[in-house]
């Protein structure tokens, strides 16, 4: 089985990117980061890629505030195709992708979100959880569709909300689980084990799509 070639889109520090790179270089997942692309010229994610010998490309987003222009998006597609990318990984990418992009990579775009979807989609999932007063939240890896954090769920990890938690403390614990389940989800894709039936994602011979991390097992904005 060959390694799954992924292209990572990132806008910020790229800590999830780093988790994927480290597991890839250690041979723990059958995944190779073929290229990292960012809309932010000085994004730390680009430096992480360069430090690991991975091609790092900055492509300006164009004139739109929250999404790529069609011209910029076409350049993203060109770069991903140039590097043979099979799956597009969003790691703190702060731009909305058009339907044309999602159609081109249908079923091959994944994202991680700092909440247990469908609860608390969109920005500041950790803050939303605290403001709502839930006792449990977590992280979700999901396929990307045309909605905002509405795609089919691949894996989730449960994180408790502690008394006295701030957005920063809760975010840090959720991020630990993102770093664990994102590479795990990519490995499932690399092994060809995932099957999608409507909203239901199943894995042949393995996980049921829900997983507890260290924090969750004791009952106790990703990037």
pLDDT single digits (tens) 186-216: 999 999 999 999 999 999 865 455 554 433 2
- Is the predicted pLDDT of residue 179 greater than 50, yes or no? yes
| DSSP3 helix / strand / coil % (the chain, rounded to 5) | 35, 25, 40
- Is the predicted pLDDT of residue 50 greater than 80, yes or no? yes
C-alpha radius of gyration, the chain, whole number: 17
CA 68 to the chain's CA centroid: 18
pLDDT attached to residue 216: 29
* CATH architecture assignment, domain 112-223: 3-Layer(aba) Sandwich (3.40)
Q: Is 175 helix (H, G, I), strand (E, B) or coil?
A: helix
- Is the distance from CB of 123 to CB of 106 less than 8 angstroms? no
Ranges in the chain annotated CATH 3.40.50.170: 1-106, 112-223
* CATH architecture assignment, domain 1-106: 3-Layer(aba) Sandwich (3.40)
Catalytic residue among 113, 124, 142, 179: 113
Among this protein's residues, is 83 annotated catalytic? no
- Half-sphere exposure for 94 (CA within 13 Å, toward CB): 17
Q: At what angle do helices 167-190 and 15-25 cross, to 10 degrees?
A: 40
- Is the distance from CB of 31 to CB of 24 less than 8 angstroms? yes
Tally Cβ neighbours within 10 Å of residue 108. Answer: 16
């Amino acid at each position: 089985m060959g390694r799954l070639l992924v292209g990572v889109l990132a806008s910020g520090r790229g800590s999830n990117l780093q988790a994927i790179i480290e597991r890839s270089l250690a041979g723990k997942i059958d995944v190779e980061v073929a290229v990292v692309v960012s809309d932010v010229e000085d994004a730390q994610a680009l430096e992480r890629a360069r430090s690991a010998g991975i091609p790092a490309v900055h492509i300006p987003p164009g004139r739109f505030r929250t999404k790529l222009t069609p011209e910029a998006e076409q350049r993203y597609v060109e770069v991903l195709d140039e590097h043979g990318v099979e799956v597009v990984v969003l790691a703190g990418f702060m731009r909305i992708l058009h339907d044309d992009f999602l159609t081109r990579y249908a079923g091959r775009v994944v994202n991680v979100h700092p909440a247990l979807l469908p609860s608390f989609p969109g920005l500041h999932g950790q803050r939303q959880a605290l403001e709502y007063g839930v006792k449990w939240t977590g992280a979700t890896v999901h396929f990307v569709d045309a909605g905002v954090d509405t795609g089919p769920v691949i894996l989730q990890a449960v994180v408790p909300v502690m008394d006295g938690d701030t957005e920063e403390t809760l975010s840090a614990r959720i991020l630990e689980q993102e770093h664990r389940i994102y590479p795990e989800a990519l490995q499932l894709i690399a092994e060809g084990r995932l099957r999608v039936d409507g909203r239901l994602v199943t894995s042949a011979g393995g996980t049921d799509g829900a997983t507890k991390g260290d924090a969750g097992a004791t009952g106790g904005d990703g990037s």
